[in-house]
Amino acid sequence: MTSRTHAWIPPTDVYETMDDLIVRVEIAGMKEEDFLIELNGRQLSIRGSRQEVPERRAFHQMEIRFGEFNLQLELPAPIEEDRIQAEYSEGFLQVILHKAHPRQIQISG
């Protein structure tokens, strides 16, 4: 028998400016060290775990997700990997990915 984790995906926006791709994830109740962000080619992975307060409760409605989350995104453009920035503030994780622009190669002769 195999065990299966039920990772969930937090609400996410991906948008583009002239120079950057921005990934904005709504995920309150975390700390910066709770996230694992990886870029492999054009595949961006954001993982972590949001822990619930361990107290006894009788829910009448439950919509807020806890436990492991795993977000996988295929980015629409190449990225300059050495210029990636990530910020976490007021319940939002924002990953700023600077788009790589084509470079002209000079021919020497």
Write out pLDDT tens, residues 54-99. Answer: 777 788 887 778 889 999 999 998 999 999 999 999 999 999 999 9
Q: Which H or E run contains 102?
A: none
Scan for tokens 């307060």, then name that residue. 53
Q: Which domains does the chain have, with CATH numbers?
A: 12-51+65-98 (2.60.40.790)
Q: Nearest Cα to 24, choosing from 83, 75, 96?
A: 96
> What does pTM read for this prediction?
0.81
**Alpha-carbon gap, residue 60 to 35, rounded angstroms:** 30
What the block records as the tokens of 75 is: 């980015």
